[in-house]
Amino acid sequence: MKLYSGIIVVSVLAATSSTAFSDSKSKSNIFVSNKGDKSMSLVQCKTKRGKHAQPSSIQCEEKQNEVVGFATSWPANQYRGNKHWWWSGLSGEVIGLRARNSITPLLNDKNRMVVDTYTYDGVPAGLPQSGSNFIGVTPNGKSAWNAAREIDEIQEIDTDPHSKTFGQILTHIKVPLTTDASSGSATKGMMRPCDMSITPNGHYLWEPDIGGESVTGVDIKNKKVIAQITLPKVNPENRVIPFMLTTNNKFAIVENFEAPNGTVDILDVSDPANPKHLKKLTQADGLGVSPETGEFTPDGHYHYIINRGSPEVPGNVDVLDMKTLQIVEKIALPANCQPHNGDHTNDNKFFVVNCSGSDSIAVISNKHRVLVQEVALSGSVPRGLVVR
């Protein structure tokens, strides 16, 4: 999901104990990036073993907080990829971070990989020098695909730490213009690809074009655009402004800034060359206010839509049934949460979201679909989180 001006930063977190993190799915390390003070919080969650997860079977607490000097808003968290590294976007860059059980390694530059995504050798003249990046790691963790928003480009990046080209951009794909594309400017692109989501089989990627009113699909193996679909409008006088997207092998769920309170589009991408629009969700369908992003539940039965809310309407998580394409439940969040994104714990029993308005994170039971814990953070304005 997404970030700063034109650089992608890759972070790798180093293990600090002899016990490998992957040895126990009952333990989850949650790295939370705090935008307010550019710090990182480490929250550790432990769940009780057992077939049935009860709301009380998880305990989370903040273990560490350090000022790292940067803030990541939308780390790539759809797939774990390499267990030691996770990636996120910065302004004009992508960053990779190497860490698993502690924030301390992130204070050392050797555990950071910064990729210049806007001013690399060969970038066409006249394009913006900075802008947001939205990166998604492939299921095997050896590469990632980035939406460099303001230069209208999709980039493949080598994320295999054992590769000779680690941290280098391998492929550049220009996003084709739609008839409804924005005009662009000295600081903004015309199509403005604004997120990145890769199918579980690793064969395709889908990204929403905030300036193109469209969704674009790429065949990863052949490294070429295979489809582009324009999204319908609720009001012909307004723009859809799609900006976030999450996919599996069958559906793509798209969040839009569409007036007045945001909408969500559901696409059928089971035939990647011929995506089809299935449904648009509005507040009349029970959709919350200001949908930000979403994640599928581990069993694929539901899709969680994370709604930021407004001063008048609290943020919440909508539960979208993927069989009926209906919103069937609403999960309440802490007061003034103002969430943006989330990730599942390693045992897939709980879902964690940031609360930028209350300097905390919220933990939801996937079985009972209720809030079970709120964890206060030392940092301010938590904006992005990822589970390792």
DSSP helix/strand/coil, 110: helix
Q: What pLDDT is stored for residue 24 in this prediction?
A: 60
What's the whole-model pTM score? Answer: 0.93
pLDDT band at 232 (very low <50, low <70, confident <90, very high): very high
Q: What pLDDT is stored for residue 1 in this prediction?
A: 45
Report the half-sphere exposure of 85 (CA within 13 A, side-chain side).
30
**Where exactly are the structural domains of the chain?**
7-387
**Class of 7-387 in CATH:** mainly beta
Which residues does 280 contact at the CB level (< 8 Å), separation at least 6?
A: 231, 232, 234, 263, 264, 265, 266
Contact (CB, 8 A) for 315 and 338: yes
List the beta bridge partners of residue 344.
351
pLDDT in tens, 326-357: 999 999 999 999 999 999 999 999 999 999 99
pLDDT in tens, 52-106: 556 668 999 999 999 999 999 899 888 888 888 999 999 999 999 999 999 999 9
How many residues would you count in the chain?
A: 388
Lateral strand order in the sheet of 263-268:
242-247, 251-256, 263-268, 276-281
Residue 38 identity (one-letter amino acid): K
